[in-house]
Structure formats: C-alpha cells, structure tokens
A and B are shown apart, each in its own frame.
Chain A
C-alpha cells in the first residue's frame, strides 16, 4: 500500500509539474468550468523518484491507475524535486457523461483476454466510459474496414495500425493529431464516486522520454507530429535448433564462430552473413532434405516474412528502398547487387522462404527439422517450439532444444557503417554494411471525427495501455515488447497466472540464468520458469537489438507511385519470384518497379 501511495504521488507530481505547453489549437472538453486553483495537497513534490536506474526518471507508474491503489483522501506531503519550467496547470472536473469508445484491433484469443482485463480496469477508473473492443482478425482486414468506415464518415474512435495505415488515414484527413494531448496542461479531477480512483487527479499530458526512442521515431515520422503511439511492438529474432548445432560444435569453432559446449551461439553478437555462409556446408545436407543421422537440415535459415527480408537486407547493405518522403528508390545498382547476392544465398540454401513448403510461415518446418534456423516475429515465439502437441512422426529431430539469437547482420556490432565484401556464389559484391533489425507491430491512434469526450477518454486509454507496468504485463503475456524503457527494469510484481507472478527483471533473468549455465539448470520440472523461458530469451535478444531498430517509413500513395504498404507487399513478392528461379533478380526487380512507379 505504501508503495502504491508513493507511486500515486509520483504520478501526480510528474504530471502536475512536468508539463510544458498550453493547449492552443485543439479544443479540449469544456464541460466543466476550468479552474486554475490547484488543491494544495497535491502541489507538493514526492520524496523519491521510481527506484530504477539507467532509465529516465520521468516515468509514471501504471500502479497509479490501478484500482488497488485507491487512496482518495490521504495525500502525503513530500519534499521537492527539481523540475524544469512549469506552466500553470488548468484544473477541471472530468467529464462524466456516458462515453462509448470503439477500439478496433486484430487480437486473437489469448491477447484479447488480457486486453479485456486492461479494459475492465480502465472502466473501473472511469465508470462513464464503455470500451467496445472488436477484433478485425488481420491487419489488412482492419485497414480495409477502417478505410471503408472513413469513407462514410464512421471511423471508430481508435484503432491499432501500422504506420502504413496511419499514413493512409492521414491522407484522408481522418486521424487525430496527438501532440496537443501529449503537451496538454489540463489536469482532471475524478469526481465520480463510483470510480476506483475517485478524487484523484488525472493529467492529460504524457511524458514521452521513457518510451523506446526507435518507437517514437516511427510514430512521429509524419513531419514530426504524433498521430499514434506504440503499443504492440515486436521485432524479428532467429530461432535456432540447438540440438543440431550441438552436434557440430567442433566444426563451428574451427570455422571461427563462437559457440558454447552445449550449442549456444552468442546472444549479444549476432551472426554475420559471411558466418552464415560459412555455417551452411557444416549444417546443411547436400540435398534439400534433412539427414537426421548426420544432424544436417535441408536448409540453413528460413525467413518467415519475405517482405522483411527484402527491407532489412536493404538496410544491412545500404541499398536504397524508400524514404519518409514517399520516394521509391529501388532502381539502383546496390539493390540489384543485393538481389543477386540474395539469389546466391537462396541457391546455396543458406536462406529459404516458407513458400517452398507451401506455407505462410516456416514454423512447422522448423519444428519438423527441415531447416536449422528461422527468422520469425518475436510475437510468435511459441509456434517455433516443438512439443508433445505436435505430430510426433513429423518431428525429424524429435522435441529438440530451441535457442534464440539476433537477426543476422552484414557486419559485426563494432563495425557499423563500414564497407563489406560479400560473395554470392563466385561473384563478390561490395556494400556498406550497417546494423539493422526490423521494428514492427501495431501502434494506436485516434480518429478525428470522434467527439471531444470520446477522444479524451480514448487518449486516456492509450495512456493506460502504455503505462510502464501495463506495457510490461502486456509484453510478458503476449510476447510483444515493452514500449517503455522503464518496463525493462521494472520490479513491479505482475500476476501472469493465478499462481505465478514475477517482475519484468526476474522475467528477463530466466533466460540469462539459463544461458549463464549453458542450458544446465536445476529448475524443478514444474517450475513456471520453463513456461516463460523462450519468451524471456526473445525479450533479451530484442533488448539487445533496440540499439539498431530501424522502422519502415509509412507513406500514402502518390499520383504516380505506390504507398509504403504496397511497396512492402511488392518487396516480399519480389523475393518470392527470385526464390522460384522462374525470374531472374533483374526481372523480379523490374516487375516490382513496374508496380511501384508508373
């Protein structure tokens, strides 16, 4: 309880004192008469900042919002902490008329369940608000439905979406600029006695400093204005069949690649493309089929998303692709070289696309042992772990051990932006090698046709979804990544199941302990650590990758060229065409160019 109180005070403090700008253009609710008189009890500053190190201290804890923290009457007096310039806060009563917010997303079974919990807690705090969450099953369906709704002026209040989507909505003038909320100086008093936070103060503003910088960059790419905030972020990681690797430790070491006795590759230094090419003859059978007795697979590395493969290779090799201005840049020699190089990697079976097995994703074939490693979304961890639920006859290596590493890079971490020569077949290609990992996953934004109050509560809901604690909770349960830096070092206990709770730090510690002991740990078989081991591995790998996350610019179509969504689709199709060998890299690129610029 004490901790909760402390957190509450921190929260109030940060938002009362920390805000900078006065709202100028965006009208805010006028239902309550504004008053500049702040209640004296709350203007005092808290004693301590969140007990975190190495992260911005301006975080506000999700605890503040949580129903369990209700402390409406006693607000302790505390000592001051230095802060920057302050502008007068405007205090208002929180609007209390009924508001219905429609939130469109794509979450399936498990993710919806947690989202529903978050919604319930939010509705307990704001009893006049009803959030109608509805799943549109997939991102393309979601985008199409939103577009259709925009056309008839019936957009939902808020929706999940990629920058591509928001760029499109923006070109239809349908999305709400969020900067006025972010910088608002309005603080609301919760006057509804039915609220779980009755009597507390809710500031509108949001301090962005704690958010992962790459995510902010992605969300304010539209001339520096925010139309969305990050929520379900993910990245790509590589799942590795450690059972196979373990049988080639000596050969892999002889090739100069770091590997532990039990087959763990380095978790902080990703493999380079050259190393992958070196590994291919060691781990891949001469024919495209798996040789179980020799512990060799048919292919070295599967890439689930051919579009991501194209885009991330463009980043790794500095081949121009698109830019935030919406220019299509693929018609250049570097991209041609890149595609020829990729083609050589396909031929050598260093890389494979899931279409070769007639699948959308390579997870089943990874589990079946057809391929040694697979580049997959960090949000889809569980699909790559073989288990007793799989058809045992198909698992060529049985239920093998899975490890995770970072996505392959063109150069070592210390050699960012240096020249690199890569051999595709017998042809050498020279590129400038850069570090890059795909940053993906949905953001949330608000549509501007909603009423002022709907927008206000939608905004407060976004704030609620992205509190440090909720972000951590969402991440541990779903496999998405926290959007706040402080989540990574959060020591707030979070209930994951009815019997198991852990802090994010301990959650991250699971994989660290496992790796430190070279996979030999004495956890009891019933330990929940086993259940969260792979999620923890992935989160650790992603945390390493945050340093070089690169987002895909989102832009709408122009009069004679396509938007980013189509560019993405065509990029994926381009690699699939090259893979099939029915088209040369030059032909595939020409088709892509034909589809993107006309």
Chain B
C-alpha cells in the first residue's frame, strides 16, 4: 500500500480522534495535571501555586485506599481464575454433548444481556440474611443462616457473596468465547488423542488448554482489567455504603468515585485523580506482566 495518504488517513480518523480528544484525552490530561495540584477547589476554580506530589502520598496513606487495594486484588486474583476455569469446563462440557447445545448456550448467555444494577439488586435479595434464598439453600445442608452482606457479615463472607455475583455475571461472555474457540479446534487433534486412548483429562490438559491458550490469555487480560475496575457490582450488591459495614468492600474505583463525588471539598478532586492515575499504572503493569509471563506458555 502507498504511504502517501497521510492526510487522508487523518481525515478518516478525525471524527473519532476529535471526540476522544475532547471527552477522553483532555479529561485524562486534566486529571493527570490535577493530581499534582495543591489545595484545588473546583467550585471556585482556585488552587495554591505550584505542583506537588503530596496528593499521591495522601492517597497511599489513606486507610480506605489500602483497604481498596486489598479488596480489588483479592477480587481480581480469585474471581478471574475461578471464572476462567469454570467457564472453560462449561465450554468443554457444552462441546461434548450431542444435543441441546444451542439451548444451554443461550441460557448461559443471559447474564450478559441484562442490566447489571437490576440483577445485582436481585442478588442482594437472594443474599438477604432473614428471607434470602441463599441461606435457605444452605439450610438444606444443615448450615445455620449467616449474614452475607449485612452489617454483621465478616469481611470473608462479604467477599464470598461479591465473588459469587461477580463470577455469575462474568461467566456468560467467557463461556461463549471459549465454546466458539473450541469449535474452531481441528477435530483431528482429538481423533489422534483418542487413538492414543488418552483420558479426557489428559485431552483437556494436553490439547484443549494449549490450543486455546491465546484465547485464554486474551480473556484473562481483559477480565483482569475489568476486575481491577470493579465498581458497579459493589454498588448493586451493597448499595452506596459499599459494604455491610461502611466501605468494607471498597474498591479502587469506588475510592476514586467517593473522593470525586466530594469534589466540593478542598483537595478531594486531586485525591480522586491521584487514585485513578495509580489504578491506571497498576492496570498497565498487570497487563504487561501477564503478557510477558504467558509469552512462554502460550501456544500461538
């Protein structure tokens, strides 16, 4: 192809770039700058002269920022692997049945096409301590009712409930992607394996997973980014208090959001901006790390 259609290419890009310049890059740049402002007061559009790194140290020393890091990482590191493994199993199961494949696939996809807040509210009712379905279900196994999302729920219980909701919510997409990835695997690999009378587990381990590895990598990166940005699921399940006890389940985005919402206070908007920039750095680091670590193990 020629290289001289520079200006024409920019012309095609213009609508997207102009909109993004105004509504993405400018606010991003602005947030970056604001994260160094001293005593910024957006209501008056005033600040103290000079730039400072203090906002970052303030954020890092904030109790709830530490709590947010702990929650976000726990959620990401546990829910992402579980949902990937589970959806992989489901996809393999789907692929191995002779009938009703489309039916199951459709059902499993439903969580993807629903309003997150609406379903989250349904989960909150299900996890209700007194008249929730989940406790009722556990009682059939002789488990006494426990508080999952209320004020007396321990951190672990709240995290469990959050994980269940997060995994439920994220399975749909992964199942579909893995299932269609599986159908693209050449049948002869399996036939060869069957001749060698390899066990199903061996086939799964030695053929399915390696052949799907680029897809698994892609899905784990995008899920990781999604999990690090968790916010809506917490709002849906716990409401504005962000936990059974206030802010027990706070995440980095929720932290950013709280300080952003309180922007009328002196300096708070800068703290929110600093928190967001830190999250950006973390996400970037994880994506890079994931790509590097899996480079050896992924079979393209």
Chain A residues in the interface with B (C-beta under 8 A): 144, 147, 150-151, 168, 171-174, 353, 355-356, 358, 556-559, 562-563, 566, 569, 572-573, 576-577, 579-580, 582, 590-591, 594-595, 598
Contact = CB atoms under 8 A, between A and B. Distances in A.
A559 B44 contact: no
Q: Top 9 closest A-B pairs, CB basis?
A: A355-B151, A557-B265, A172-B43, A573-B246, A358-B150, A594-B63, A147-B264, A559-B39, A557-B266
Contacts of A557: 265-268
B152 interface: yes
Contact of A582 (B42, B63, B130, B245): B245
Given A562-B265, A576-B151, A598 B43 contact: no
A358 B43 contact: no
B245 A577 contact: yes
Nearest to A590: B63
Contacts of A147: 43, 263-264
B239 to A, nearest CB: 10
A170 to B, nearest CB: 11
B266 A559 contact: yes
A578 to B, nearest CB: 10
B174 interface: no
B190 interface: no
A576 B63 contact: no
Contacts of B265: 168, 556-557, 562-563, 566
B229 interface: no
Given A168-B264, A172-B264, A598 B61 contact: yes
Interface string B112-136: 0000000000000000111000000
Contacts of B150: 355, 358
Interface in B214-267: 244-247, 261-267
Contacts of B245: 355, 573, 576-577, 580, 582
Given A356-B151, A577-B245, A598-B58, A172 B266 contact: no
A594 to B, nearest CB: 4
Given A147-B43, A594-B63, A595-B62, A559 B267 contact: yes
Given A174-B43, A355-B244, 12 more contacts: A147-B43, A171-B43, A171-B44, A358-B128, A358-B151, A559-B39, A559-B267, A566-B262, A573-B245, A576-B246, A577-B246, A580-B151
A230 to B, nearest CB: 23
Contacts of B130: 358
B63 A591 contact: yes
B152 A580 contact: yes
B155 interface: yes
B84 to A, nearest CB: 32
Contacts of A151: 42-43
B73 interface: no
Q: Give chain A's interface secondary structure class.
A: helix
With a 10 A CB-CB cut-off, give which of B39, B44, B64, B129 has the most chain A CB atoms. Answer: B44
Interface in B150-201: 150-152, 154-155
Contacts of B129: 358
A137 to B, nearest CB: 13
A166 B147 CA distance: 39
Contacts of B263: 147
B295 to A, nearest CB: 41
A355 to B, nearest CB: 3
7 contacts: A150-B43, A358-B147, A556-B265, A569-B246, A580-B151, A590-B63, A595-B62
A557 B262 CA distance: 10
A558 B41 CA distance: 11
Nearest to A573: B246
Nearest to A558: B266
Interface of B: 39, 41-44, 58, 61-64, 128-130, 147, 150-152, 154-155, 244-247, 261-268
A144 B266 contact: no
Nearest to B246: A573
With a 10 A CB-CB cut-off, give which of B42, B63, B264 has the most chain A CB atoms. Answer: B264
Given A151-B42, A151-B43, A172-B264, A573 B247 contact: yes
Contact of B63 (A174, A579, A595): A595
Given A559-B266, A573-B247, A595-B62, A173 B44 contact: yes
Contacts of B246: 569, 572-573, 576-577
B58 to A, nearest CB: 5
A594 B62 contact: yes
A572 B245 CA distance: 11
B24 to A, nearest CB: 21
Contacts of A566: 262, 265
A173 B147 CA distance: 46
Contacts of A573: 245-247
B261 to A, nearest CB: 7
A171 B267 CA distance: 13
Nearest to A150: B43
Contacts of A591: 63
B155 A582 contact: yes
Given A358-B151, A562-B265, A582-B154, A595 B64 contact: yes
With a 10 A CB-CB cut-off, give which of B42, B151, B245, B268 has the most chain A CB atoms. Answer: B151
A598 B44 CA distance: 23
A569 B265 CA distance: 14
A569 B261 CA distance: 14
Contacts of A353: 151
Contacts of B262: 566
A310 to B, nearest CB: 13
Contacts of B63: 590-591, 594-595
Nearest to B247: A573
A144 B263 CA distance: 10
Contacts of A556: 265-266
A248 to B, nearest CB: 28
A45 to B, nearest CB: 48
Contact of B151 (A171, A174, A579): A579
A470 to B, nearest CB: 32
A594 B63 CA distance: 6
B145 to A, nearest CB: 12
Nearest to B240: A140
Contacts of A598: 58, 61-62
Contacts of A150: 43
A356 B39 contact: no
A576 B245 CA distance: 7
With a 10 A CB-CB cut-off, give which of A172, A562, A590 has the most chain B CB atoms. Answer: A172
A144 B150 CA distance: 27
Nearest to B149: A358
Nearest to B43: A172
A391 B42 CA distance: 49
A174 B264 CA distance: 12
A557 B41 CA distance: 10
A173 B45 CA distance: 12
A577 B41 CA distance: 31
A393 to B, nearest CB: 13
A558 B266 CA distance: 6
A356 B44 contact: no
A594 B67 CA distance: 13
A171 B262 CA distance: 14
Contacts of B155: 582
Given A172-B43, A355-B150, A582-B245, A144 B261 contact: yes
